[in-house]
Structure 1
Amino acid sequence: MNKIKQKIQELRDLINQHNHYYYDLHKNIISDIEYDELLKDLVRLENDYPQFKDENSPTNRVGGGLSKKFDSESHIFPMYSLDNTYSSEELEAWYNRVVKKIGTTDFDFCCELKYDGASVNLFYDKGKLVRGLTRGDGLNGDNITKNLKTISSIPIKLPDSFKKNKFEIRGEIIIPLDSFNKLNKKRKDYGEQPFMNPRNTASGSIKMLDSNEVARRPLECFLYSIISDDITMEDHSELLNLAREMGFNVPNYEKVVNSIKGVKEYIKYWEINRKTLPFEIDGVVIKINKIDFQRELGFTSKFPRWAISYKYKAENLSTRLKSISFNVGRTGAITPVANLEPVLISGSTVKRASLHSYDQMLKLKLRYNDFVFVEKGGEIIPKITGIDEKRRGALEDEIIFPEICPECNSRLQKLESEANYFCLNYTGCRTQAIGRIQHFVSRKAMNIDGLGDETIRLFYDLGFLRDIADIYNLNYDEISKIEGYGEKSAENLRKGIEESKLNSFQKVLFGIGIRYVGESASKKIIKHVDSIDKLALMDIESLSSIDEIGDKTAKSIVDFFSDINNIQLINKLKSFGLNFYQKDNDTHSTKLSGKIFVISGVFESHSRDEIKNIIELNGGKVSSSVSKKTNYLIAGNNTGPSKLNTANELGVSIINEVNLIDLIS
C-alpha cells in the first residue's frame, strides 16, 4: 500500500512541477498528451484508493497559480479549464456521456477554434471595463486591468445600448503570426534575443509590470464566452453574435452542427487547414450550443461537462543530430540535451531537444549524425520521439554517456532505481550549488525578491554565495559597489532577505531542497512533525507512515540528515533566525475540524483567500465544488447559480461570512 501512496505522491509532485512550468514560467516541458496521461493516471489511482485523496491534489485544480506581482481577485463565476481529447474514440465517449445525461440526441454543437494564447476574464459593468483578470487558479486571478486596457481589440467602453448589462466575458490574448515575425525582426535589428513563440510571448507580455511596454507588443484579444445573470439567450452561438454587436473581437470561424459527424468534419477540416490561419491554434473546442442543456450538464470540480477540446497532435519532423550536451541539475542529475541541425517546427526554429534521461537515451540507441524525429511537446518545447532507421549514423558514432561530471569533473554514479546518472559532489559542483540557491529563493519557497538567476550566478562567481546559508551573511557594502547595483538596490535586497526570515517552517522545509520533498510533501510532513530536529531523528518506517510520504521520499529524508554537511547547513540557517518549527498559532482551533466548505462569490469584509485561511486555521477544509460531502456553502455577492442550486438540492447549509465568524466564536 505504501508503494501506491508513493506513486500517487510522485504523480502529484510531477504534475505540480509541470503546472509551475506552464502557468508560471510559460514553458512546456512535456507535450499536452503526456501531461493528460499523467493526470489520467492520477485520477485513476485516486479513485481506486480514495483513502489517499487530498484537497490539494492537482486533480482538484483548474489552472495555474497566482503571481506575487499583481493583486489577486475572485472571478464572479469560476473560470474552468477544458477537458482534452486526442482521438475520435475519446470524442465519442464524451458525446455518449452527454446523451446519457440529457436523455436525447436532438441537440446542436457549436464548434470553435482553440486559440493558443493566454486566457483572460473581463468584467463589464454599466458599459465600462471594470477589471481584467488572468485565469489564475480558476477561482482567483491576477488583476492585470491596466495592461489589458492597452490592447486595442478590448473595448474600454461599450455602445450605449449595452450600458445596463453586467457580465464577464472570457477570451484569449494572442499575437498574430505576421505581427510576431515583425516583432522578432525588430528585436534582431536591435541586437536583442528573439522570442521563442507567439504563445509564450503573449502570456509573458500581459504579466509585465510596465504597461507602456505591454502597449508596444502586438497583442490581440479573441473573445469566446459571455457569462452573466443579466443576459439571457437560448444558444451559445447567439451570445457570440451579441459579443460582436458589443464591439468585441470574435473571429468568424465557429460553426454550428447537429451531429457528432459534423463535429468530426470540422475537426478534420481545421487539422488540414490550420496552417492557413493568421494565428496559432492547438485544436478545436466543442460546446453544447443550447444554454439550458449546458446548465443541466453542469461541471465537474475542474471542467464543464458541456464542452471539450480536441487537441491536434504536435508537428513531427526529421533532422540530423549533431551532438549531445550533458546538463547538471540542482540534485546532481545529469540530463542529456540533443543539439540538432536547425529545423522549422510550428513557426519557430528548433536547434535543441530534450532527451530527459540516460535511460531514455539508451532506449533510443542514438548515434551522432542520426536523423531523428523531433516534436514540439504542446507545440512549444521540442523533444526527440524516435530515429529514422533508414538514415542512421555510423556504428563508430555511438554516443557514450560521460563518466565524469561536465561541470566539476567528479566521477558520475548510476543510483539504484534512478533513470539518470548523478554527480555526487554535492558541495563542490558549481551548477548544483547555484541550482539549490535558485530553488531556495523561488516563489513557492522563500520568495526572495532581488535574487534572480543571473544575480545568483554573479554572486556565486564573485564568492559571495556558496550555499543557501550564505544568503543571510551577504556583505551589502560590497554588493553596492558592483556595477549596476548601488546602495538602494543593496538595501532592497537586504530587506527582502530579512523578510524571508518570517517564512513558515513549511516554506523553509521545501526551500532547503530535500530530494522528493516537494511543496505538497512538505505540507504533509509539518502536519505530523513540528520541528526539523524531530524530522532529523525519524526513520524510514515512521516517515512512511505519514500520509503521501512513500518509501523513496522517506529514504531520501533519512539520507539527507545522515550527511554532516546538511546538519551543519541547517545549524547555520538556525543561527540566522530561520523558522524550523511549527508555531502553535498555525492552527487557532479545531472548531471546524471535519467540516468541508465551499466559497463562492464576492464578500464585503474579507477576501476569498482570507476566508479560506480562517477555515483552515480552525481545522476546516475548503473544496472547489459542492458535493454530498460539503457541510457549508459560504455565499457572497454574485455567487454562481450552479453552486446555489446544487447546495439546495443536496441540503447543504448556505451561510454568509458573518455566519462563518459565528461558527468559530
Structure 2
Amino acid sequence: PVARLEPVFVGGVTVSNATLHNADEIERLGVQVGDTVVVRRAGDVIPQIVSVVEGNTSGSSPERAPIIFPDQCPACGSDVAREEGEAVIRCIGGMACSAQLKAVIRHFASRKAMDIEGLGDKLIDQLVDDGLVGSVADIFRLSQPQLAALDRMGDKSSENLLASIDQSRSTTLPKFIYALGIREVGEATARALANHFLELDALLAAPTDELEGVDDVGPIVARHIRGFASDNRNKQVVGDLLALGVNWPPVNVASSEGPLAGTIWVVTGKLESMTRGDAEQRLRSLGAKTASSVSAKTSSVLAGPGAGSKRKKAEELGISIVDEAEWLAMLEEME
C-alpha cells in the first residue's frame, strides 16, 4: 500500500507518496486517511511514514477514516488471502489473474532470466489482453502474423521479436530455474539449486529435507519450491516449455580444486571486457563461489565503474576490492 500525501519537501525532493509496507505496519502506526503524519526518506531514498501526529488531521479531510484492504483482487475479482506468518495479502487467482500472468511473463522474459529482447510491458499487456498468451509457454507458440497485427508492431518488429524468442530457447539451468518465478528463488539460489541437483527433474522431485540442505535454501524457500513443483499447472507449463525446445547444456559445477576454491566473490558495476554474468562464470570455473550481495563472508569484490552501495559496503567491512585491470591480470596469471 502507498499513502497519498499533500506534497511536502523532504530531504531535497518534493514527496507526494510514501510507502506503508503492509497491513501490519498500518496497524502499528495507527494511521488513517486524513491524518497528519511525519515523513522521512529511508536511506535517503524511499519516502516512508514514521508516525502519526496526534490530534491532527488534514484540513481537506477532517474526518479520519480507517484504511480498508480489498477482499477481492481489483484485477480479476478473485478472493485475496494472507498466508500464516506473512504480512502480504495476495490474490489467489494464480495465472487466471491477468495482472499476475503479466508479471510472470515480465519476469520470465527479463534480461537475467530468459532474456527475450523486445518483449516489453506494453506488448505483454496486448498479448495477455488479446488472449494470445495464457502462460509463458505460449510465448514460444506465437506466429509472425499474430505479432504483426498488434499495435505498433509491423513485419520487421515481429520478425525481430520472433528471432529473439527463438534465441532464448538456448539458456542455462540456473537461468531457467530463476525464470520460473518460484517465490524467494533469486539468481543466487537458482544457481545453488542447479549446482546441487544438476538436472531439473531432480530438483522438482526433491523432498523438503533435501532442498533445505542446499546453500541459500531454508524452510520457507523449500516450501515454496515444493509448492511450485507439486502444482499441476506448473508441471504442464514446464513440460510445454521443454517440448517447445527450451534447452540448456550440462551444468558446469564450480571446481573445488581451482585456485579460487573457498572464496566468495561479488561482481558489481559495469565491466569493459565482459559482462558481469561472464565474469561470475569465470570465477566459478576457477573454484570460487559468487554471491549477489556483500556480507562479512565475502572474500573479494570485483568492481567496475558505477559500483555503488556494494563497493561502499565492502569498504566499510574491509573487504578486498579488485578493479577490472587487476582482475584481468589475475586471470592471466592463473591461466
TM-score calculated relative to the size of structure 2: 0.78
Paired residue secondary structure (1:410): coil
Q: Flag the 1:361–1:620 CA change in 2: closer, same or farther, 3 A.
A: closer
Q: Which residue of 1 aligns with 2:205?
A: 537
Equivalent of residue 489 in structure 1, options 157, 163, 175:
157
Q: Which residue of 1 aligns with 2:8?
A: 343
* Per-residue deviation, 1:560: 1.0
Paired residue secondary structure (1:353): strand
Q: Which residue of 2 aligns with 1:555?
A: 223
1:217-236 matches, within 5 Å, as none
Q: Quick check: 1:531–1:582 contact (8 Å CA) kept in 2?
A: no
Q: Which residue of 1 aligns with 2:141?
A: 473
* Letter in structure 2 aligned against 1:447: D
In the alignment of these two chains, the number of paired residues is 296
Q: Which residue of 2 aligns with 1:511?
A: 179
* Letter in structure 2 aligned against 1:488: K
> In 1, Cα distance between the equivalents of 2:183 and 2:114?
17
Q: Quick check: 1:636–1:656 contact (8 Å CA) kept in 2?
A: no
Equivalent of residue 357 in structure 1, options 22, 29, 33:
22
Q: Flag the 1:436–1:611 CA change in 2: closer, same or farther, 3 A.
A: closer
Paired residue secondary structure (2:156): helix
> In 2, Cα distance between the equivalents of 1:638 and 1:536?
41
Paired residue secondary structure (2:94): coil
* Per-residue deviation, 1:656: 6.5
Equivalent of residue 261 in structure 2, options 592, 595, 607:
595
Q: Which residue of 2 aligns with 1:397?
A: 65
* Letter in structure 1 aligned against 2:227: D
Q: Flag the 1:545–1:582 CA change in 2: closer, same or farther, 3 A.
A: farther
> In 1, Cα distance between the equivalents of 2:120 and 2:200?
27
1:624 and 2:300 aligned: yes
Q: Flag the 1:394–1:365 CA change in 2: closer, same or farther, 3 A.
A: farther
Paired residue secondary structure (1:449): coil
Q: Flag the 1:533–1:369 CA change in 2: closer, same or farther, 3 A.
A: same
> In 2, Cα distance between the equivalents of 1:611 and 1:376?
35
Q: Quick check: 1:587–1:618 contact (8 Å CA) kept in 2?
A: no
Deviations 1:276-312 (A, max 9, x none): xxxxxxxxxxxxxxxxxxxxxxxxxxxxxxxxxxxxx
1:233-632 matches, within 5 Å, as 336-392=1-57, 397-579=65-247, 583=250, 586-587=252-253, 591-592=257-258, 595=261, 613-614=281-282, 616-617=284-285, 619-620=287-288, 623-624=299-300
* Per-residue deviation, 1:442: 1.3
> In 2, Cα distance between the equivalents of 1:481 and 1:441?
21
> In 2, Cα distance between the equivalents of 1:359 and 1:378?
21
How large is the Cα RMSD of the aligned pairs? 3.2
> In 2, Cα distance between the equivalents of 1:350 and 1:502?
45
Paired residue secondary structure (2:70): coil
Q: Flag the 1:482–1:419 CA change in 2: closer, same or farther, 3 A.
A: same
Q: Which residue of 2 aligns with 1:44?
A: none
Q: Flag the 1:656–1:375 CA change in 2: closer, same or farther, 3 A.
A: closer
* Per-residue deviation, 1:347: 4.9
> In 2, Cα distance between the equivalents of 1:381 and 1:621?
32
Q: Quick check: 1:367–1:395 contact (8 Å CA) kept in 2?
A: no
> In 1, Cα distance between the equivalents of 2:141 and 2:147?
12
TM-score calculated relative to the size of structure 1: 0.41
1:184-203 matches, within 5 Å, as none
Name which one, 1 or 2, has greater alpha-carbon Rg.
1
Deviations 1:263-285 (A, max 9, x none): xxxxxxxxxxxxxxxxxxxxxxx
* Per-residue deviation, 1:337: 1.6
1:660 and 2:334 aligned: yes
Larger RCO, structures 1/2 (Cα 8 Å, 6+ apart) = 1
> In 1, Cα distance between the equivalents of 2:301 and 2:118?
38
Q: Flag the 1:385–1:454 CA change in 2: closer, same or farther, 3 A.
A: farther
> In 1, Cα distance between the equivalents of 2:324 and 2:172?
33
Structure 1 residue ranges without an equivalent (≥5) = 1-335, 599-605, 627-632, 641-653
* Per-residue deviation, 1:583: 0.4
> In 1, Cα distance between the equivalents of 2:102 and 2:275?
37
Q: Quick check: 1:449–1:493 contact (8 Å CA) kept in 2?
A: yes
> In 2, Cα distance between the equivalents of 1:479 and 1:362?
47
Q: Which residue of 2 aligns with 1:128?
A: none
Paired residue secondary structure (1:390): strand
* Per-residue deviation, 1:612: 6.1
Q: Flag the 1:363–1:590 CA change in 2: closer, same or farther, 3 A.
A: closer
Q: Flag the 1:369–1:531 CA change in 2: closer, same or farther, 3 A.
A: same
* Per-residue deviation, 1:416: 0.8
* Percent of residue pairs identical: 32
Paired residue secondary structure (1:384): strand
Q: Which residue of 2 aligns with 1:116?
A: none
> In 2, Cα distance between the equivalents of 1:510 and 1:551?
18
* Letter in structure 1 aligned against 2:250: K
* Per-residue deviation, 1:596: 5.8
